[in-house]
Amino acid sequence: MAYQKRMLLKGNEAAVYGALLAGCDCYFGYPITPASEIAQSAALLFPKLNRTFVQAESEIGAINMVIGCVAAGRRSMTASSGLGISLKQEAISYLAAYEMPAVIVDVMRGGPGLGNIAPEQADYFQVVKGGGHGSYRCLVFTPNSVQEMCDMTFQAFTMAEKYRMPAYVLTDGVIGQMMESVELPSAVKYDYDPEWKMGNIINGEANCISSIYMEPNDLEELNKKLQAKYKLIEEVEQSVEEFSVDDAEIVMVAYGISSRVAQGALEQLRAEGIKVGLIRPKMVFPFPKNSLNNAVKRGVKKFLCVELSAGQLIEDVRLAIECQRPVELCNRMGGNLLTCDDVCAAVRKMI
């Protein structure tokens, strides 16, 4: 039987399809604009496959249910937006310390505070830098299309399990709310049964999952192990899309909706004969340091960070290239969007 795999979906809905096709068993969530369609689609679709949807009492409840589900050896996810992600941070730190995989979708909205529900990209720090207590990282995918919302949510499960750590799908209100056509991937048949799950008999003892290391030396060992894992990920998992970087003098760096605006600007500017390129991180942890440094080596004179935050991404760009080139900022905040014209003007000013 052939099925219709091309569908017109919202980014939020596409994330749910990606999760189900990747074999996600349980969804635990709490409604929040602009991420609510994820919970709504999950509520509709998970039960069709005898899978579990629970509307949790809170963001905190939801992420802790994810902990329980993953500890029991099942694939699980949750989704939210800025404020909700703030509330989840404690549990995400636990997930990192447990070395347990989980997928968290963050559809960013305006902050700080209650802010508003319009698209922003100001969760970058809290998602990419750890966010909760302790020295930990999460894998961070940054889709910029509905197709990628599906594909990257799918991929997030695989990579989270490969490295046994939480993975974010970090996007914004535009990508979450917009509809585009999506080609769905094939469903994976899975016999997922991690040996580290709670209660598995290891050396004759029922396994326990814990993040407590009372001896400082033991906790330092865990930290070293985590850092070694993150270093390996930085070496082998950088993921990026480059546009016209080879001969570029100015390279824009942008992810999510900003990268699409930058791509539009790039076409306009190239038509004017301006040598501009674009580096679009598909993941921001690991950060695409190689791509940026290769651009430096190829003679890029300046970088322009295009982001919907007060200069968060820009810090990582500067660090990645160790300030060898000037990095300027083109941004809007508070839920205002950048237009192609805004970005073009910023690039023209740099010439």
Partner 1 sequence: MSEKVKFGRSPVFFETFNRRPGPIKKNMHYCPGCGHGILHKLIAEAVDHFGIQKNTKFISPVGCAVFAYYYFNFGNISVPHGRAPAVATGVARANPEDYVISYQGDGDLAAIGFNEFLQAANRGENITVFFVNNSNYGMTGGQMAPTTLPGQKTTTSPYGRNPLTEGYPTPVCEIVNALTAPVYIERVALTTPARVAAAKRAVYKGIQNLKERKGFSLIEVVSPCPVNLKMSAEQVNEFIEKQMMNYFPLGVIRDKTAETEGRPLPAPVVRESADVEKILLTEKRSDSVAADFRNTSSMFDKELRVKIGGFGGQGILSLGVMLANMGMLRNFNVSWMPSYGPEQRGGSACCSVIVSRKMIPSPILESGIDLMIATTQTALEKYLPGLKEDGILIYDSSAVKLPELPAAMRTYGVDAIEIAATKLGSSKCANSVLMGVLAAVLAANGLNEADQADFDRAFAEAVEEKFGKKPGAVEMNVKAYEAGKAASLK
Q: Which of residues 14-43 bind partner 1 (CB under 8 A)?
A: 17, 20-21, 23, 25-26, 28, 33-34
199/176 Cα distance (integer angstroms): 38
Q: Under rule CB under 8 A, how many of the chain's residues touch partner 1?
A: 85
Q: Which of 237, 246, 252 is nearest to 295 (CA)?
A: 246
Nearer to partner 1, 235 or 267 (CB): 267
- Count of Cβ atoms closer than 10 Å to residue 232 Cβ: 12
90 binds partner 1 (CB under 8 A): yes
Both tokens assigned to 328: 């300027």
Q: Is 240 helix (H, G, I), strand (E, B) or coil?
A: strand
Q: Is 43 helix (H, G, I), strand (E, B) or coil?
A: helix
Nearer to partner 1, 238 or 259 (CB): 259
Minimum distance from CB of 33 to partner 1 (Å)? 5
Touching partner 1, residues 149-178 (CB under 8 A): 173-174, 177-178
Touching partner 1, residues 214-233 (CB under 8 A): 214-215
Nearer to partner 1, 110 or 281 (CB): 110
What's the length of the chain? 351
Cis status of the peptide bond prior to 34, with omega within 30 of 0: yes
Sign of the alpha-carbon torsion through 168, 221, 70, 61: negative
Minimum distance from CB of 192 to partner 1 (Å)? 9
Nearer to partner 1, 34 or 281 (CB): 34
Out of 43, 72, 87, 329, name the contact with partner 1 by CB under 8 A: 72
Touching partner 1, residues 259-278 (CB under 8 A): 260-261, 263-265, 267
Minimum distance from CB of 72 to partner 1 (Å)? 4
Out of 5, 225, 298, 348, name the contact with partner 1 by CB under 8 A: 5
57/67 Cα distance (integer angstroms): 15
Minimum distance from CB of 297 to partner 1 (Å)? 28
Cα of 86 vs its chain's centroid, Å: 15
Touching partner 1, residues 179-218 (CB under 8 A): 179-181, 184, 186-190, 197-200, 205-212, 214-215
50 binds partner 1 (CB under 8 A): yes
Q: Which of 83, 82, 84 is nearest to 28 (CA)?
A: 84
336/351 Cα distance (integer angstroms): 26
